Amino acid sequence: MRALIGLGLALIAAEGMAAQDCQPVATPKRLPSLNQLLDSAALVAGITDGKAAGNGEIVLGLAYPERVGPPTVFAVEPSDSAEAGGDFQRQVLTHLRAKGAAPGTTLRLRLRPPADFRVERSVLCPPIPYDSTSLMRVAISSGRGGAVPVQRWNSASRVLIGEDGSVLDARLQPGSGRGNIDRLVLEPVYGGRWRPATLDGRPVKVWFANGRAELVQ
């Protein structure tokens, strides 16, 4: 048994990863209608009265809480650092419906007065490593040959990245079957530095492997 553990461990240098494309989130499977989210008729009437015309397009992110209540709303475009739509955005907020989507749903509303309003999927951008130790592909060898045959396998790390870009957890896929070898291989991964994943521009926690991010619900 001892001959198999910790012998001939080899690490292949981590491959630098280019920025990955952001992708629409697949859930919910079917988008709610505009009228489920927004009293659009009342909003259009308000714009016709001249209360909110001429402010240009805005994109709002809606996050519906796990419990009953109105959605959390934030500006995606322009960013929250700007006035972000001014009177028009405030007009929109007064016409949002509190129960427009299932709890836990995130969506986007794209709005351009007077009447071009659309429901869109939220957009998830994967995390990006700042250095070469953040994500590793490894080749592991164990055994000396002869009576103990050499075993080799290739593996990649699956990493849990927090909202601050820190590595919260890491696992080999597939693992070696020997916890002490896996822990040794993953030590540099825990020290990796990341730009966190974002959902509609807001940092979120994700599992990341093979170039794909998976939201932690």
pLDDT tens, position by position, 29-81: 999 999 999 998 888 888 766 555 555 788 999 999 887 778 888 889 876 54
- Residue 123: enclosing H or E segment and its boundaries? strand 123-125
- Reply yes or no on whether the pLDDT at 20 is more than 90: no
- Reply yes or no on whether the pLDDT at 5 is more than 90: no
Q: What does each C-alpha distance from 31 to 22, 93, 107, 109, 195 come to in angstroms?
A: 19, 20, 8, 11, 29
pTM beyond 0.85: the answer is: no
In what side-by-side order are the strands of the sheet with 197-199? 23-24, 123-125, 197-199, 202-204
Residue % of the chain over a pLDDT of 70: 71
> Which pLDDT score, from 0 to 100, does residue 204 have?
94
Assign 153 a pLDDT band (cuts: 50, 70, 90).
Answer: low
Q: What does each C-alpha distance from 146 to 2, 7, 23, 111, 205 come to in angstroms?
A: 15, 14, 50, 70, 46
Instruction: Work out the mean pLDDT of the chain and round it to a whole number.
Output: 77
